[in-house]
């Protein structure tokens, strides 16, 4: 790069500490749940206690006269509907109740106790309907429709096939799969898999404080997506989006739970009705029962493979339970192409991914959504293939992983050899811990190595950098700090390196939709990439402006100047120049304050024409790869699985803050261990989630975990700023897969389900677990589609 285009003189890489740690450690940080405003009312939501029914009568008159009650709102107050792809979701149940826990009314009162007393006084008469609780029931030919009016819903994105309880269907076809399966030289491997739901258990529940002033709503909320809250609230209330301002205090954990609108509109409506600020905080029970879970899913995958190990054809059907409303699962049908269709070179492929309505709580986004279970299915299937053709599973993977020029499922062309070298690196890490096979305690020992493909959810982001006359810079974005540290570390590091100032001197403005431009939200590994790219562009513009002013002050060409250590100097002549503060204040006085904005969105890598139908993303702009390895010991008598070691090689593009990334990997892997081993959600006959709290939903504890051995793989191609990729989302991606493959390896049994709770493992060991069958998934792939692929 020539001096004239140089955009930084110092490295952005460092283990920069996070500025929010001190207050968090001293208990001073004020999350949304810690905000109490003068005159504030307390709100509560009346929820249905049946999974399906018709509302015959809902009378709030008596409740409105209860002591302390200031406002009650119902479906009449929220005319709009929201959704992804299709607008199927009202704020309150209108005529039909579609899940146990669905909101019916909301009350604001002087105290929370008064609000709850008023809820109890609301008179509700419901005619129960027979619920559709499983996907098998939902797609049966005579199933009752969860949305009888599905055909009339407003379509927000054209192209998805829909019918009855199939909320959305996305398909991929590349090449002649029938011909591949008919080849005489292939073996056909057919596998079924099933996974349950996973609850995020974000420690801060969804919480909001709303007020209504000067004809506008101000919503302070615990969210990952301030702009979604703004726009979706407006849609539901039937008001212009410009009437909603969203600000976000520090968020006490998200993991995708807060990637969608939640309880904000209730508080907004109550604030407008009462004229007072309104606080609404989900109880832990509400969090558990109405969590936008990682969805339960059923996967059938078949492959045609030659004895030499070439995958000539692959087909799959993936059923994803979206619950009562489409929500995130509509979008996530897209991801099957890139996760289940990822990892390996395929001669031909066809996949269909269907989001299915049931009378259960709506599901949502959860860290590496869709990828976690599809990677489990794909990697277990891969081991079954390797066993079937008698090839070492590692050798099979090395032979087939995506490499430079390889075609993805949708026909996109991948750049660079990444997974192969990552597998090689894992091979060098593996002998570092002794194998546990020689242990002689009667347990069954196993190990596995898996690969995974994920992506960065790029999309629009905006940033403004204001250069202050004191030499600091203020970064204004709609980014939210949810705990991952991206807003506290990566972003100020990027701006600071560009401007040659200390990252502590970059002030990070908290999210405010009135102050910063549009942003998709914090999730999908996109913060450092998308907000980072917008921030980098803004900072580079500020840098150019400052260098121009400095060049006049110093009588030197801008390309001869460097910005470092808070100074702008002539290259090679330390002490020759001025401080950034001097230049910035000079500029401010002569030309006005220096600032600039940056904007970013995905590039839109092309897929092969005709390959995809019903997809939101045809190809992935920034793939992210992971290789995981673990050793387990399985107790034959109890079915308990102990994880003995865990190793990760993760493709990070470029690690701006290696220590922070390692922290994300340890945390993500442990969350994945919970999913793999003991976090279990079941639905009762009344359609409600049975795990209502921490006693019944078992998350990993300090004694359950192992230190993860981590190697950051740098240098893979990325369009992210400074070569970065998202690093916080992907660590959970192949944990379920790796544990499942290791348990299968230890027990010699076919692992088809997660989580591997002791009873489930014991059934496997004792041979009491019948093979998983899906009578509701048709044998012929095409019979699973409501509309043939490619037909409008």
Partner 1 sequence: MAVSLIVNGERMASSADPMTPLVDVLREDFHLTGAKPVCREGFCGACMVLLDGAPALSCLMPLALAEHCEIRTVEGLSSGGTLTPIQTALEAHDAVQCGMCFPGMVVSLTHVLATTPSPTRDDIRMALTGNICRCTGYERIVEAALSAVAK
Q: Which residues bind partner 1 (CB under 8 A)?
A: 15, 17-18, 20-22, 24-31, 33-34, 36, 200-205, 250-255, 283-284, 482-485, 659-660, 663, 666-671, 693-695, 699-703, 705, 707-708
Helix-strand-coil percent breakdown of the chain, rounded to 5?
30, 25, 45
Q: Which is nearer to partner 1, 258 or 338 (CB)?
A: 258
Q: Which is nearer to partner 1, 162 or 678 (CB)?
A: 678
Q: Which is nearer to partner 1, 155 or 203 (CB)?
A: 203
Sign of CA dihedral 406, 411, 413, 417: negative
- Nearest distance, CB of residue 184 and partner 1, angstroms: 49
| Cβ atoms of residues 104 and 85 within 8 Å | no
- Nearest distance, CB of residue 284 and partner 1, angstroms: 5
The residue written with tokens 């004895």 in the block is: 307
Query: How many Cβ atoms are within 10 Å of 36's Cβ, its own excluded?
Result: 11
User: ω before 728 within 30° of 0 (cis)?
Assistant: no
- Nearest distance, CB of residue 648 and partner 1, angstroms: 11
Q: Is 462 helix (H, G, I), strand (E, B) or coil?
A: strand
Q: What are the residues facing 467 on neighbouring strands? A: 473
| Cβ atoms of residues 527 and 485 within 8 Å | no
- Nearest distance, CB of residue 706 and partner 1, angstroms: 8
Q: Which is nearer to partner 1, 473 or 482 (CB)?
A: 482
Q: Which is nearer to partner 1, 33 or 451 (CB)?
A: 33
Rounded distance, CA 251 to CA 223, Å? 7
- Nearest distance, CB of residue 396 and partner 1, angstroms: 30
- Nearest distance, CB of residue 384 and partner 1, angstroms: 30
- Nearest distance, CB of residue 12 and partner 1, angstroms: 17
Rounded distance, CA 622 to CA 615, Å? 17
- Nearest distance, CB of residue 19 and partner 1, angstroms: 10
- Nearest distance, CB of residue 755 and partner 1, angstroms: 16
Rounded distance, CA 11 to CA 14, Å? 8
Q: Which is nearer to partner 1, 142 or 695 (CB)?
A: 695
Q: Which is nearer to partner 1, 520 or 670 (CB)?
A: 670
DSSP code for 343: S
Rounded distance, CA 298 to CA 774, Å? 8
- Nearest distance, CB of residue 586 and partner 1, angstroms: 35
Q: DSSP readout, 527-591?
A: IIIIIHHHHHHHHHHHHHHHHHHHHHHHTS-GGGEEEETTEEEETT-TTSSEEHHHHHHHHHHHH
Q: Is 169 exposed, middle or buried (0-12, 13-18, 19+ CB in 10 A)?
A: buried
| Cβ atoms of residues 265 and 78 within 8 Å | yes
Helix H or strand E segment including 174: strand 166-174
Q: Which is nearer to partner 1, 284 or 603 (CB)?
A: 284
- Nearest distance, CB of residue 251 and partner 1, angstroms: 7
- Nearest distance, CB of residue 233 and partner 1, angstroms: 24
Tokens at 640, concatenated: 């308990």
Torsion angle of alpha carbons 48, 53, 55, 56, nearest 10°? -130
Q: What are the residues facing 72 on neighbouring strands? A: 107
Q: Which is nearer to partner 1, 134 or 199 (CB)?
A: 199
Q: Which is nearer to partner 1, 9 or 631 (CB)?
A: 631
Q: Per residue, what are the HEC states of 492-523?
A: HHHHHHHHCCCHHHEEECCCECCCCCCCCCCC
Q: Which is nearer to partner 1, 308 or 701 (CB)?
A: 701
Rounded distance, CA 594 to CA 305, Å? 61
Q: Which is nearer to partner 1, 29 or 601 (CB)?
A: 29
Rounded distance, CA 753 to CA 373, Å? 10
């Amino acid at each position: 790069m020539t001096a004239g285009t140089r955009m930084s003189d110092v490295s952005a890489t460092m283990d920069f500490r996070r500025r929010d740690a001190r207050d968090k450690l001293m208990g001073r940080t004020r999350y949304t749940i810690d905000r109490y405003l003068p005159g504030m009312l307390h709100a509560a939501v009346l929820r249905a206690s049946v999974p399906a029914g018709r509302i015959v009568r809902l009378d709030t008159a008596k409740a409105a006269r209860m002591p302390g009650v200031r406002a009650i709102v119902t479906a009449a107050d929220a005319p709009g509907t929201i959704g992804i792809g299709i607008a199927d979701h009202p704020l309150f149940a209108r005529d039909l109740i579609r899940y146990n826990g669905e909101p019916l009314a909301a009350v604001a009162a002087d105290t929370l106790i008064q609000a709850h007393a008023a809820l109890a006084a609301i008179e509700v008469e419901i005619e129960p309907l027979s619920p559709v609780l499983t996907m098998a029931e939902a797609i049966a030919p005579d199933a009752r429709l969860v949305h009888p009016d599905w055909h009339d819903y407003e379509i927000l994105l054209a192209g998805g096939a829909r019918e009855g309880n199939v909320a959305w269907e996305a398909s991929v076809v590349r090449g002649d799969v029938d011909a591949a399966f008919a080849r005489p030289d292939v073996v056909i491997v057919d596998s079924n898999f099933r996974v349950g739901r996973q609850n995020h258990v974000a420690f801060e529940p969804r919480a909001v404080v709303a007020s209504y002033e000067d004809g506008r709503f101000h919503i302070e909320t615990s969210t990952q997506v301030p702009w979604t809250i703004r726009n979706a609230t407006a849609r539901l209330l039937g008001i212009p989006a410009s009437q909603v301002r969203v600000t976000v205090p520090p968020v006490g954990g998200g993991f995708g739970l807060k990637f969608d609108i939640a309880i904000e509109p209730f508080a907004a409506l109550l604030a407008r009705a009462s004229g007072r600020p309104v606080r609404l905080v989900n109880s832990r029970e509400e969090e558990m029962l109405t969590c936008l879970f990682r969805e339960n899913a059923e996967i059938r995958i078949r492959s045609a493979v030659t004895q030499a190990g070439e995958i000539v054809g692959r087909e799959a059907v993936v059923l994803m339970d979206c619950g009562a409303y489409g929500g995130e699962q509509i979008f996530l049908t897209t991801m099957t192409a890139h996760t289940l269709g990822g990892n390996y070179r395929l001669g031909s492929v066809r996949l269909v991914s269907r989001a299915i309505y049931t009378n259960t709580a709506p599901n949502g986004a959860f860290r590496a959504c869709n990828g976690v279970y599809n990677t489990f299915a794909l990697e277990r299937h891969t081991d079954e293939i390797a066993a079937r053709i008698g090839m070492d599973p590692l050798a099979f993977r090395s032979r087939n992983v995506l490499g430079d020029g390889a075609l993805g499922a949708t026909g996109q062309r991948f750049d660079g050899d990444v997974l192969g070298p990552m597998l090689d690196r894992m091979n060098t890490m593996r002998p570092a811990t002794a194998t546990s096979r020689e242990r002689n305690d009667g347990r069954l020992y196993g190990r596995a190595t898996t690969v995974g493909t994920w992506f960065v959810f790029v999309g629009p982001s905006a940033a403004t950098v204001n250069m202050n006359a004191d030499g600091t810079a203020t970064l204004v974005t709609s980014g939210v700090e949810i705990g991952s540290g991206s807003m506290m570390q990566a972003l100020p590091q990027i701006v600071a390196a560009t401007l040659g100032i200390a990252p502590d001197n970059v002030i990070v403005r908290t999210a405010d939709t009135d102050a910063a431009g549009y942003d998709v939200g914090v999730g999908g590994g996109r913060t450092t990439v998308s907000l980072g790219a917008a921030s980098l562009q803004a900072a580079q513009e500020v840098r150019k402006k400052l260098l121009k002013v400095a060049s006049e002050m110093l009588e030197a060409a801008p390309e001869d100047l460097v910005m470092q250590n808070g100074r702008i100097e002539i290259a090679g002549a330390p002490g020759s120049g001025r401080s950034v503060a001097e230049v910035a204040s000079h500029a401010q006085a002569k030309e006005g304050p220096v600032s600039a904005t940056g904007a970013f969105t995905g590039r839109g890598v092309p897929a092969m024409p005709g390959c995809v139908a019903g997809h939101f993303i045809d190809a992935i702009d920034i793939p992210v790869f992971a290789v995981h390895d673990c050793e387990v010991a399985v107790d034959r008598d109890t079915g308990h699985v102990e994880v003995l070691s865990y190793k990760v090689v993760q493709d990070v593009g470029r690690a701006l803050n290696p220590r922070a990334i390692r922290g994300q990997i340890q945390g993500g892997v442990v969350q994945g261990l919970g999913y793999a081993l003991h976090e279990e959600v079941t639905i009762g006959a009344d359609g409600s989630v049975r795990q209502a709290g921490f006693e019944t939903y078992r998350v990993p504890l300090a004694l359950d975990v192992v230190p993860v051995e981590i190697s950051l793989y740098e240098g893979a191609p990325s369009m992210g700023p400074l070569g970065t990729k998202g690093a916080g989302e992907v660590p959970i991606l192949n944990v379920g897969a790796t544990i499942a493959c290791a348990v299968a390896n230890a027990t010699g049994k076919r692992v088809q389900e997660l989580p591997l709770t002791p009873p489930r493992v014991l059934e496997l060991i004792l041979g009491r677990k019948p093979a998983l069958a899906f009578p509701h998934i048709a044998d012929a792939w095409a019979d699973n589609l409501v509309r043939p692929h490619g037909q409008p």
